[in-house]
Amino acid sequence: MASIDRLGPELILLIFAGIIILADLVVPRWRSGLVAASLLGVAGSIVWSVTLVARDMRGGAFDGALVVDDFSLFFSFLFAGIAALVILASIEYVDRFVRHQAEYYALILASTAGMMLLAATTDLIAIFIALELTGVCLYILVAFLKDVRSSEAGLKYLLLGALSTAVTLYGMAFLFGLSGSTNLTDIANVVAQANDDTRAALVMAMVLLAAGLGFKMAVVPFQMWVPDVYEGAPTPITAYLSVGSKAAGFAVVMRIFMEALDARFISGDWANMFAGIAAVSMTVGNLIALTQTNIKRMLGYSSIAQAGNFLVGLAAISAADGELALGASGVLFFLAAYAFTNLGAFIAIIAISNRTGSDEIGDYAGMSRRAPLLALGLTLCLVSLTGIPPTAGFIAKVYIFNAAVQSDLVWLVIVGVLNSVVSVYYYLRVVLQMYLEAPVSEERIAAGPALGLAMAIASAGVLFIGILPFPLLEAAEAAAQVFG
């Protein structure tokens, strides 16, 4: 029973997903009930996670396949918060697919459970199952609009996702062949005793895992799906992908690389690999974002660049002795700050596109007069993405770049700072459109109550973390201590 208890937060989400589907057969089109049940499922998951902390239920479960520790709990709260904001942001948007609203909310809950499992599983087989649970739900959600763009986005996401799964499995097979076990602790023990005869195989496993999971993280050169999927998917799902799927990818990468491949024999290799990918991702993402005219595609390329910033922390983890906790906590802090920031930006976009029917940046002209509060919230989030104080994005970049400097990765910090300067152009271009250009229409735009609440929560999070970052910093540092 202790194992089931530790799986409680994920089980709650899956149970409520099933209840929503079954109840929809009996009480069709119960819109308010769907939202209430979805939020109740998320709240139940959060409460169960809180009780695990209060009862000090940290420990392994299911014979070492799953673990409850500060790292998995950090992501449980993060994913639950992301799901709650996405559900709130979807209330008005789901009118576009009235007949399938129950399936929509159920898939969000099921994919959230998969993401939580990705952060908590410590066995390669369990990790693969969690990857598939998350991936299959997201493939369906991306194609939910069923129009040409959405269907194309769903198909592209499915095909590339299947390819990345195959590559990931190949990397896992190498680790299993070398160690004779799928448990990360057992693999770590074998890696710690490895010699030059097995180095080539370990490097191959490392590269294949980074390539397969690079799809989830949306880093170069595995980012080709991002712009089309971000543009074609329902906008709340685009927001969900940009923060939830990305955070899940980094969670599982940190779990595998820092738990199974943390020996100095191999960690320097993957630190250098991640440093190179970080530099290329930041540069490619920002340069292509400069030319975008569609705001969803712009934020898609922006997310590639931001993934490069996260990788700076991963590169710093083993680039120098003693900096593991600093680099790891920097990644965790950045992921949480980015979740508030990017969700806030997309929530504003949802509210505006619901009224204008357009995602073109040119149609944001004069938005400060048509929707002053939405324009203010979007401006705050774009400023945070740029990394300007006193926002969450500024603190996050300072923290993660400091970890890189402490690890003697000054060259990577220079690349990151230069790319941040480049990003100022396309982020503030939207702000200038909203405040300096004449509006294309005089029609007023206002967010509904749910969207307004979600926007207020995200904006408050961006400011709170920027002004008082210490509670989140302490939580991130505690989670990073799991890896020693």
CA–CA separation, 32 vs 24, rounded Å? Answer: 12
Residue 401, domain member (yes or no): yes
Inform me whether the pLDDT recorded for 322 exceeds 50.
Answer: no
147 within domain boundaries:
no
Residue 263, pLDDT > 70, answer: no
Which pLDDT band, with edges at 50, 70 and 90, does 16 fall under?
A: very high
Alpha-helical segments (H) within 260-322:
264-289, 295-319
Q: Which of 23-27, 118-122, 190-194, 222-226 has the highest mean pLDDT?
A: 118-122
77 assigned to some structural domain: no
pLDDT given at position 257: 86
**For residue 196, what are the contacts with CB-CB under 8 A and spacing of at least 6?**
none
Comparing C-alpha atoms, which of 370, 367, 402 is closest to residue 382?
367
CA–CA dist 148, 439 (Å, integer): 30
Poorest-confidence range of 251-260, 271-280, 281-290, 318-327?
318-327
Mean of the pLDDT values across residues 391-398?
88
Average of pLDDT values for 363-376? 84
93, two tokens: 């948007």
Q: Has residue 215 been placed in a domain?
A: no
C-alpha distance across the termini of the chain, in Å: 29
User: 198 near 178, Cβ under 8 Å?
Assistant: yes
pLDDT tens string 440-453: 777 787 777 888 89
Task: Determine the pLDDT at residue 29.
Answer: 63
Query: Which of 209-223, 238-252, 287-301, 354-368 is the least confident region?
Result: 354-368
Q: What is the pLDDT of residue 480?
A: 84
* pLDDT tens-digit map of 69-126: 889 899 999 999 999 999 998 888 887 777 788 889 999 999 999 999 999 998 899 9
Least confident of 10-19, 198-207, 256-265, 458-467: 256-265
Q: Look at 5-19, 124-138, 259-273 and tell me which has the smallest mean pLDDT.
A: 259-273
Q: Please report whether residue 178 resides in a domain.
A: no
Look at residues 151, 157, 68 and name the one whose alpha carbon lies nearest to residue 111: 157
Residue 7 has pLDDT above 90, yes or no: no
Domain that includes residue 367, residue range:
263-484
Section 406-410 average pLDDT: 83
pLDDT of residue 155: 87
Burial letters for 438-457: b for 16+ Cβ neighbours within 10 Å, e otherwise? ebbeeeebebeebbbbbbeb
pLDDT class for 31, splitting at 50, 70, 90?
Answer: low
CA distance 22 to 243: 29
**286 belongs to a structural domain:** yes
Spatial contact of 465 and 337, defined as CB atoms under 8 Å apart: yes
pLDDT at res. 106? 92
For the chain, the average pLDDT equals 86
| pLDDT tens-digit series, residues 165-207 | 899 999 999 888 888 888 888 888 888 887 777 888 888 888 8
pLDDT score, position 81:
93
Q: How many independent structural domains does the chain possess?
A: 1
Is there a domain that residue 347 lies in?
yes
pLDDT: is 29 or 3 the higher one?
3
Is residue 109 domain-resident? no
Letter for the amino acid at 343? L
Structure confidence at residue 464 (pLDDT): 92
Residue 387 DSSP label: T
* DSSP state for residue 242 in the 8-state scheme: I
